[in-house]
Structure 1
Amino acid sequence: MTLARVPLSRLADVKTLVIGTGGREHALVESLARDPGVTEVHAAPGNPGMAAHATLHQVDPLSGEAVADLAERLGVDLVVVGPEAPLVAGVADAVAARGIAVFGPSAEAAQLEGSKAFAKDVMNAAGVPTARAFVCTTAEEAAAALDELGAPYVVKDDGLAAGKGVVVTDDRDEALAHAVACERVVIEEFLDGPEVSLFALCGWSEADGATVYPLQPAQDFKRIHDGEQGPNTGGMGAYTPLPWAPAGLVEEVLRDVLQPTVDELARRGTPFVGLLYAGLALTSRGVRVIEFNARFGDPETQPLLMLLDSPLSPLLMGAATGTLASVPPPAWKSGAAVAVVMASAGYPASSSSGDVIVGTETLDRESDVAVLHAGTARDAAGRLVTAGGRVLAVTAVGTDVADARAKAYEGVATISFPGAQWRRDIAAPAAGLP
């Protein structure tokens, strides 16, 4: 993917196209719509929530040529690719080939998320601290790795699995069964300690090399039930900032994880342009990388963007055009933000579609609460209905985590649909609750 430096004048009066259908993309759309430098916001395929802020278009998000055709037809200046699957499929490459700025890594660089084995190889080459691991393709290899590392067993599908390809268990039979069900797995040592998500905006140019702007840390909640019980999900809630995070964490992760990773990719001839997501464990032995993602995380993006004080488009356009080093680093509002995900009946094993959602309109007047749509649609009668596993993320800002959390849960209480499920403990410890 060829990147050309452009004048800073290109960073104003921007027409944007966001690719995706979920809560992360809705948050991006809302943030771009608030940006005074953005003149048009388009989304494809989008969702009903985005329709209030963007013009929606039908497109196959996995088809690079279809996305590039749409971007050309709309005359947009910047394409923002939200989900991981289009990035791994090379959508960013196809858009860049048309001479259109695109925020999102090339297919080759997106293998940081598309292949956990590739990510481990990059981390090892860059000296990034991570868990000891084995890449396994047979039941015999998996069994040997499980016995070598011991319980708790951590087994990860090597490819994309929408956040649900990881099994962490003390049951060896369960771990081995998951390994055998996958074509290739990474089996790694269990990392103790709290988990943190740290995102970074990444740009690259011949003149400046790799520029990395970390965002503030966030924490998400992956399992379906309170107390981190039940199966993994794509994420049931998140909050930022982390009042308990150690001082200097962002600087340490930038120095030891983010910068070495993007420098290693650039050394390999595949510079990373877009959003690098580091999932971290703060272990008793120090910070360790659990995983990398190659795009904004969902649901952490929702609270993060509600607290972002900088306009978003110069940061995204700067990364996409090799001028990020000339854009001021992101600035943050005071206070905190909390997102609580409402999921449909049966999630994560299945999902329920067509259930009528009521109450979202009552929050439209609340400036400090946003209902960010993920799995929603309109039925034949025009009613808002469920259309996926994670349906909505009620996201609120407040003076601190406790205030934001209270507002988010007040918002959840106004919304209902059959079988709705949500966790009651999002951000509870950070808010001083048991």
Structure 2
Amino acid sequence: MKDKQKLLVIGSGGREHAIAKKLLASPHVAQVFCAPGNPGMVEDGIVTLGISELDFEALKGFCYEEEIDWTFVGPENALVAGIVDSFEADGFKIFGPDKRAAKLEGSKDFAMRFMNKHAIPTARFETYQSSETALAGLAHFTEPVVIKADGLAAGKGVVIATTKADAEKEIALMFKKGQKQIVLSEFLAGPEYSLFVVVGKNGHRILPLAQDHKRALDDDKGANTGGMGAYSPLPQLAQADYEKMVTEVVEPTIAGLRAEDFNYCGILYIGLILTKTGPKVIEYNVRLGDPETQVVLPRVENDLALLVEKALSGETLPEIKVSQDACIGVVIAAEGYPGQYETGQVLPTFTETEQLSFDYANVAEKEHELIGNGGRIVTVLAKAETLAKAQAEVYAFLATKELTGCYYRHDIGTKATQKKY
């Protein structure tokens, strides 16, 4: 790997802020650009660009002019739209799966058929192309029923209907909103875990696990969101169960990618649920998760730029070195998110310390102050020797801040610590 590389990160959220910071920490990296990025990244030395993540031609033009060494893709929309195919066609190095492989996230039906084909444990499911056939298909499922929009939905395309009447309403609504295809599946009960795999051209490595909190409100109530917080490690997960996840899910998934000759050099997210009969896959994502990235990357002691470089060049990937410290992240979201939400909230000044850091997402700048500009605004992160200490640290900090027009959950990490703030 040559020294003083210039890298580009695609995306604008807290995940991309965390990725860019981690890349910039490498002694081999001179500069990290983020397109489009957000104003909260600038203080960390990240250069933001006024280029949309879907404007592939402008992005490639920038890579050519600035002699960017390689690009790291953060969000799923660019991957599903074919950014990797576009970049590779013009000879640019880029970290992420191509359009065909990205269907593992872009289509729930495609992903679940892949799982069935390669004997990867998942829920029983059926796919429907009309409201009428889906309503008839409800008879094949017991309550509660999981209803999934087949395409991308930013983590918010899944509804768990507790009654058949609710399921009927949701099915009708999804098709009215323009869905061409939906998936009905059996409900799986158990704790959920987020597992990330670095997939290289030659081999793969598993990153530290995290647990996300999808529901908007405390005690897993409220609507599904893109994620309201996460933590890592997971002391409640038995080693034997982790080993089953690796042998029964990760290894056959990677074998399936190779068997189908996917052009997959990037991150694979596996959303797992630990049922009474063992681990099962809820979904695949073809990139790092948000907000899990924000708590996973600080625990990875490897040089991320070097790891990605080896993945892209087909070299053997190094073993992942994991810090024993715990990390917890709480998302501050706009009041009303994931529904109609406010914008323009003036954020208090957040000062980074050895224990606390901040990954910004939907923010804008107004008169030298950061203001809210979307649903999820910023992830507040604490790192400590134990989860309990990290949890106490992050919530003690949040208690000192006046957050008008915002809200956050008070129980991120409680499943491991049993403490709520």
TM-score by length of 2: 0.95
Cα gap change, 1:267 to 1:367, in 2 (>3 Å): same
2:42 maps to which residue? 51
1:341 aligns with 2:327: no
Which structure 2 segments of 5+ residues have no match? none
- 1:93 pairs with 85, 89, 96, which one? 85
1:34 aligns with 2:25: yes
1:320 maps to which residue? 312
- Counterpart AA for 2:364: A
1:212·1:259 contact (CA, 8 Å) conserved in 2?
no
- 1:111 pairs with 99, 103, 109, which one? 103
1:351 maps to which residue? 341
1:344·1:420 contact (CA, 8 Å) conserved in 2?
yes
Alignment of 1:279-428 (within 5 A): 279-323=271-315, 325=316, 327-360=317-350, 363-364=351-352, 366-379=353-366, 381-428=367-414
Question: What is the Cα deviation at residue 157 of structure 1?
Answer: 0.3
Which structure 1 segments of 5+ residues have no match? 1-8
Alignment of 1:152-171 (within 5 A): 152-171=144-163
1:133 aligns with 2:125: yes
- Counterpart AA for 2:9: V
**C-alpha distance in 2 between matches for 1:177 and 1:64:** 39
**C-alpha distance in 1 between matches for 2:108 and 2:397:** 37
Question: What is the Cα deviation at residue 36 of structure 1?
Answer: 1.4
Question: What is the Cα deviation at residue 427 of structure 1?
Answer: 0.5
Q: Which moved more, 1:421-430 or 1:32-41?
A: 32-41
2:195·2:207 contact (CA, 8 Å) conserved in 1?
yes
1:6 maps to which residue? none
Instruction: Detail structure 1 runs of 4+ shifted over 4 Å in the superposition.
Output: none
- Counterpart AA for 2:11: G
Q: Which moved more, 1:154-163 or 1:40-49?
A: 40-49
Question: What is the Cα deviation at residue 29 of structure 1?
Answer: 1.1
Identity of matched residues, %: 39
**C-alpha distance in 2 between matches for 1:94 and 1:411:** 44
What secondary structure does 1:94 align onto? Answer: helix
1:214·1:250 contact (CA, 8 Å) conserved in 2?
no
**C-alpha distance in 2 between matches for 1:110 and 1:64:** 16
Question: What is the Cα deviation at residue 431 of structure 1?
Answer: 1.5
1:5 maps to which residue? none
Cα gap change, 1:319 to 1:137, in 2 (>3 Å): same
1:190 maps to which residue? 187
Q: Which moved more, 1:398-407 or 1:242-251?
A: 242-251
Cα gap change, 1:141 to 1:246, in 2 (>3 Å): farther
Q: Which moved more, 1:170-179 or 1:420-429?
A: 170-179
1:4 maps to which residue? none
**C-alpha distance in 1 between matches for 2:380 and 2:22:** 16
2:200 maps to which residue? 203
**C-alpha distance in 1 between matches for 2:313 and 2:86:** 15
1:263 aligns with 2:249: no
What secondary structure does 1:217 align onto? Answer: coil
**C-alpha distance in 1 between matches for 2:258 and 2:323:** 33
1:284-341 CA distance string (max 9 Å, x none): 0110000000000000000111111111111122222322x2x312211112100000
**C-alpha distance in 1 between matches for 2:377 and 2:4:** 33
**C-alpha distance in 2 between matches for 1:286 and 1:55:** 45
1:216·1:240 contact (CA, 8 Å) conserved in 2?
yes
Question: What is the Cα deviation at residue 48 of structure 1?
Answer: 1.4
Question: What is the Cα deviation at residue 394 of structure 1?
Answer: 0.2
2:94 maps to which residue? 102
Question: What is the Cα deviation at residue 110 of structure 1?
Answer: 0.6
Question: What is the Cα deviation at residue 54 of structure 1?
Answer: 1.0
1:99-144 CA distance string (max 9 Å, x none): 2221111011011100000101111111100000001111232123
- Counterpart AA for 1:359: T
**C-alpha distance in 1 between matches for 2:5 and 2:395:** 35
1:15 maps to which residue? 6
- Give the RMSD, CA atoms, in angstroms: 1.5
1:14·1:313 contact (CA, 8 Å) conserved in 2?
no
